[in-house]
Amino acid sequence: MNTTELKGNWKELKGKLKQKYATLTDDDLLMAEGKEEETLGKIQEKIGKSKEELHKIISDL
Q: Tens of pLDDT along 7-54? A: 788 888 999 999 999 999 988 998 877 788 899 999 999 999 999 999
- Sequence-distant (≥ 6) Cβ neighbours of residue 42 within 8 angstroms: 28
Which pTM value belongs to this model? 0.77
Length of the chain: 61
What domains are defined for the chain?
A: 3-60 (1.10.1470)
Alpha helices in 1-61 (DSSP H): 3-8, 10-20, 36-47, 51-60
